[in-house]
Copies of this chain bind each other. A is one copy, B any other.
């Protein structure tokens, strides 16, 4: 039944040979690897405005400057990652780069950051995608949590089935999103130029209860807006992870794609922010602070308000903007469903996570990683009520930890490359690359500090707790595996065979399974053979003894006392005594069992054999043998 449901949802198992790889041309690699960074435009502008709204409308004048800082940072990071593409044609993820250049601990820090970030990518992207949908259909808003969880479940299911990544499917939402956003920006500019300035639905609102900020507080607020805006950078590293999937020349194609993506993101981000400011989109952290809004006013996302102002809410183009925004965000969440299981499988085979993460499931995907990711992201969405603005507080700390480590690792990499004594032209190229990566490391490091300081109390502390906890967990898992491997390593030389074999058959009643177990045990010709029964009531034991004698069973039957009605203790003590008397011998315990056909029938039978076996496993020099007797219904079940 369970298996049938699984087959229906996930599909039939696939053979190993189906595991292959198709290389992607640039035009398909862009949608596959850049949906995550491109989709960030759906919320980055809004987050800047939201942060500034704390200081009231007066502070919106800061928005262009904050956006400019984000754009500069984005350019630096893109330039920096282009170097990584050239240096690591086999894939330069933060874990790999840190591991190669900064050592295991730095790599594990990067891995912790990445794992946390993948979970948040799913949670934030899905929540933002649902926001895009509910901004078009406001009546759906009460269903946000349900819709978000539904999308997470759907993504998990598709990935468990192991959809072949056909670049074409990815291409539609990504290129569609880019196209409609540029159309929106273009048409908006035309309207501004022709004097028909678009006006947002919230343009007339004021923002009430604003704090009056000045001096250090003003700086802090500006920094916080900047930190929020840095969400535009999430996912930039995806291309450098994916270099091996590009057509040749891999590194050049990857670096080129990265440049195109960087340019597009900067243009879209700048355009959306400009239009939001010109059309006077008012966003408040809490909609109740909007002064002049009608009763029951529901705040749409900034990009939805811009699209509405430019195209009008009833135009098909508005719906297209919202639809493609939702689609690319869900796609961005899907990239985490690719990345997380692969990273978990690498960590699993390196011994930092349970080994099960390294096994491919029925459909050749890393099923365990997919399930864990979906559960964690779902839990976050549930906890934070699918609120993008609250989830985003946890985001990007991990991003900037891995950015910083990755760039710092690249600086080390180039320093190492210089030490090999390259020729003059190459030395100049390396120095230039090192400078770029150094700049990237410094910038992202500074931003990391800014993000930590400005977001800590707003939820980021959760990540600050989760990352070291994950780090320590992975360290201790690795220690456990190492200790076990050391203990299990065989010494040179042969094994010592046990001197003699004592067989013990456990008897409760004299039925067919017991007789079968006795026959099998005798067939193995042990040195001694004893049947043992635990006396639960004197009457039963007497009846058993009588039946035993009557059948003339040629095996002695020993009786054990069970004053506490628990059979496990007396049997374990008996076996321990046997071992004490014959320390060089082997004890084989035979457990007659009967196997019922339906799982629910097991409820009707005592499971004491299971408990007994669990205890006996801890005794040295003891083997436990199950002698199953199949009931008619169980034979039919196989």
Interface residues of chain A, those whose CB is within 8 Å of chain B, are: 13-17, 354-356, 359-362, 477, 480-481, 484, 487-490, 495-498, 501, 510-513, 515-516, 518-520, 522-526, 551, 563-566, 586, 588, 590, 593-596, 601, 603-606, 613, 616-620, 622-632, 634-635, 637-638
Give every chain B residue within 8 A of A525 (Cβ-Cβ): 525
B480 touches A498 (CB 8 A): no
A591 to chain B, nearest CB (A): 10
Most B CB contacts (10 A, CB to CB) among A14, A495, A498 go to: A495
Give every chain B residue within 8 A of A623 (Cβ-Cβ): 520, 590, 625-628
Say yes or no: A593-B617 contact (C-beta < 8 A), given A488-B511, A523-B586, A563-B15. yes
Give every chain B residue within 8 A of A526 (Cβ-Cβ): 524
Q: Which residue of B lies closest to A638 (CB)?
A: B618
B519 touches A588 (CB 8 A): no
A498 touches B481 (CB 8 A): no
Q: Cα distance A590–B626 when bound, in Å?
A: 11
A364 to chain B, nearest CB (A): 8
A487 touches B631 (CB 8 A): yes
A376 to chain B, nearest CB (A): 16
Q: Which residue of B lies closest to A498 (CB)?
A: B523
Say yes or no: A484-B594 contact (C-beta < 8 A), given A360-B565, A625-B624. yes
Q: Cα distance A566–B495 when bound, in Å?
A: 30
Q: Which residue of B lies closest to A537 (CB)?
A: B16
B625 touches A625 (CB 8 A): yes
Q: Top 10 nearest A-B pairs by Cβ distance? A: A488-B511, A495-B519, A617-B628, A625-B625, A13-B564, A15-B563, A618-B638, A624-B626, A495-B515, A354-B604
A523 touches B501 (CB 8 A): yes
Which one, B487, B501, B515, B520, contacts A498 given CB within 8 A? B520
A473 to chain B, nearest CB (A): 11
B523 touches A565 (CB 8 A): no
Most B CB contacts (10 A, CB to CB) among A15, A362, A488 go to: A488
B14 touches A564 (CB 8 A): yes
Give every chain B residue within 8 A of A516 (Cβ-Cβ): 495
B519 touches A498 (CB 8 A): yes
A160 to chain B, nearest CB (A): 15
A602 to chain B, nearest CB (A): 10
B501 touches A519 (CB 8 A): no
A153 to chain B, nearest CB (A): 24
Say yes or no: A595-B617 contact (C-beta < 8 A), given A512-B487, A625-B624. yes
Q: Cα distance A484–B631 when bound, in Å?
A: 7
Q: Cα distance A637–B356 when bound, in Å?
A: 25
Q: Cα distance A484–B525 when bound, in Å?
A: 30
Give every chain B residue within 8 A of A628 (Cβ-Cβ): 616-619, 622-624
Give every chain B residue within 8 A of A638 (Cβ-Cβ): 618-619
A140 to chain B, nearest CB (A): 32
A95 to chain B, nearest CB (A): 20
A497 touches B523 (CB 8 A): yes
Q: Cα distance A489–B616 when bound, in Å?
A: 29
A520 touches B586 (CB 8 A): yes
Q: Cα distance A356–B565 when bound, in Å?
A: 12
Q: Which residue of B lies closest to A511 (CB)?
A: B488
Which one, B487, B511, B524, contacts A501 given CB within 8 A? B524
Q: Cα distance A202–B516 when bound, in Å?
A: 76
Q: Cα distance A520–B585 when bound, in Å?
A: 10
Say yes or no: A513-B497 contact (C-beta < 8 A), given A355-B605, A605-B355, A634-B618. no
Give every chain B residue within 8 A of A631 (Cβ-Cβ): 484, 487
A3 to chain B, nearest CB (A): 12
Which one, B13, B355, B563, B595, contacts A16 given CB within 8 A? B563
A604 touches B480 (CB 8 A): yes
Q: Cα distance A489–B511 when bound, in Å?
A: 5
A13 touches B495 (CB 8 A): no
Give every chain B residue within 8 A of A605 (Cβ-Cβ): 355
A618 touches B595 (CB 8 A): yes
A378 to chain B, nearest CB (A): 21
A489 touches B512 (CB 8 A): yes
Give every chain B residue within 8 A of A360 (Cβ-Cβ): 565
A355 touches B489 (CB 8 A): no
Give every chain B residue within 8 A of A523 (Cβ-Cβ): 497-498, 501, 586
A487 touches B632 (CB 8 A): yes
Give every chain B residue within 8 A of A613 (Cβ-Cβ): 626
Q: Cα distance A488–B629 when bound, in Å?
A: 9
Give every chain B residue within 8 A of A519 (Cβ-Cβ): 495-498
Give every chain B residue within 8 A of A586 (Cβ-Cβ): 520, 523
B489 touches A16 (CB 8 A): no
B617 touches A626 (CB 8 A): yes
A598 to chain B, nearest CB (A): 10
Q: Cα distance A311–B510 when bound, in Å?
A: 69
Q: Cα distance A6–B409 when bound, in Å?
A: 53
Give every chain B residue within 8 A of A618 (Cβ-Cβ): 595, 628, 630, 634-635, 637-638
B484 touches A354 (CB 8 A): no
Give every chain B residue within 8 A of A481 (Cβ-Cβ): 604
Give every chain B residue within 8 A of A627 (Cβ-Cβ): 623
Give every chain B residue within 8 A of A13 (Cβ-Cβ): 564, 566
Give every chain B residue within 8 A of A606 (Cβ-Cβ): 355-356, 359
Give every chain B residue within 8 A of A524 (Cβ-Cβ): 501, 524, 526, 588
Q: Cα distance A606–B355 when bound, in Å?
A: 7
